[in-house]
């Protein structure tokens, strides 16, 4: 099994440069005071398609040869990767088919269609998603681009941390969310290779804490029925991402639903930017004191800003 390297992430950064935003790093004195640390927010909520997923999807699509472009791409995703891959494929004139659970919100389906993707609905479980995507791949010859368990995607995701550490090189820790592990594993590769002493940490929804559970067991262990308002983090950690997390990540903390919603609302009220629940989970772990970072300089990746305004989760 191949391992991702810093040089491959640097290559991905060169490949996608000019196509995606170099998102800003914002600060807030008020949020610093509330958690007792100096925070630097890498705002991937302001990225193309509204999340860091644009980086990985685009790197994968730009890595295709011309035959691959003609064959098109397929994936399974209920959210940000679905929109990002549809957008990335359109940039090369490739067809994109996205397998989505039939329970996916109209808000998320509309984003895929807006970027030109074709949606195939399936039953709302991982098995159905994977089997449907595989059937489409076999029948059409389209390239399967997994939402996180793909080295091309992982390399693209790691470019967010690369930029963060270029802009703020003297961080004590980098914190992000943990779902399937694509962003967290590649962030850890970048951070630990450039600065071996830096701490790499994450928040994970308590109701979908398969990575925490897997680290304790020493082997990947799924949560049977994961549930969280941070629905972008319900994926089961990948067999490519998990070994990197095992080797390089210092701590992953569980965060409650109330902490996630509170973090989302606080960022909106104080920083005046919209961050979706999944994008707030790293900050929620820091703000809740779950990562013991008082007095430290901390980079936090706000991973997405695709807020479904009809959901109004902060009223829950």
Q: How many CA atoms lie within 13 A of 302 on its CB side?
A: 30
- Cα 58 to its chain centre, rounded Å, is 14
Active-site residue (options: 42, 48, 53, 108): 53
Q: How far apart are CA 154 and CA 185, in angstroms?
A: 8
User: What does DSSP assign to residue 227?
Assistant: -
Q: How far apart are CA 288 and CA 179, in angstroms?
A: 19
Helix axes 53-62, 6-16, angle to 10 degrees: 90
Beta pairing, strands 173-177 & 297-302: parallel
Beta pairing, strands 38-43 & 25-26: antiparallel
Q: Does 2 participate in catalysis according to the annotation?
A: no
Three-class SS of residue 196?
Answer: coil
Active-site residue (options: 185, 214, 228, 303): 303
Three-class SS of residue 45?
Answer: helix
Q: Does 42 participate in catalysis according to the annotation?
A: no
Element (H, E) at 269: helix 257-271
Instruction: Write out the two tokens for 100.
Output: 């989505």
Question: Which residues are catalytic, by number?
Answer: 53, 303
């Amino acid at each position: 099994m191949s391992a991702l390297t810093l040089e491959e992430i640097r290559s991905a950064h060169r490949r996608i440069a000019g196509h995606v935003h170099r998102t800003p790093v914002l600060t807030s004195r008020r949020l610093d005071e509330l958690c007792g640390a100096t925070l630097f927010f890498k705002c991937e909520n302001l990225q193309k398609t509204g999340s860091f997923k644009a980086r990985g999807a685009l790197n994968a699509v730009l890595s295709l040869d011309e035959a691959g472009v003609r064959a098109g791409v397929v994936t399974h995703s209920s959210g940000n990767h679905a929109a990002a891959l549809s957008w990335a494929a359109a940039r090369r004139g490739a067809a994109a088919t996205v397998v989505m659970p039939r329970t996916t919100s109209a808000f998320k389906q509309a984003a895929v269609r807006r970027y030109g993707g074709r949606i195939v609905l399936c039953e709302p479980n991982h098995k159905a998603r994977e089997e449907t995507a595989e059937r489409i791949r076999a029948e059409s010859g389209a390239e399967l681009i997994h939402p996180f368990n793909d080295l091309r995607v992982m390399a693209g995701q790691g470019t967010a941390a690369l930029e963060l550490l270029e802009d703020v090189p003297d961080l004590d820790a980098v914190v992000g969310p943990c779902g399937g592990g694509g962003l967290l594993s590649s962030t850890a590769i970048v951070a630990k290779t450039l600065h071996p002493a830096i701490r790499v940490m994450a928040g994970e929804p308590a109701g979908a804490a398969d990575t925490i559970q897997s680290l304790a067991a020493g082997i990947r262990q799924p949560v049977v029925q994961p549930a969280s308002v941070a629905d972008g983090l319900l994926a089961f950690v990948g067999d490519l991402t998990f070994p990197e997390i095992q080797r390089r990540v210092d701590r992953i903390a569980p965060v409650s639903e109330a902490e996630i919603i509170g973090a989302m609302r606080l960022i909106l009220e104080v920083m005046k930017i919209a961050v979706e629940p999944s994008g707030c989970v790293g900050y929620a772990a820091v703000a809740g004191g779950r990562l013991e970072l008082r007095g430290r300089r901390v980079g936090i990746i706000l991973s997405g800003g695709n807020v479904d305004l009809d959901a109004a989760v902060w009223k829950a």
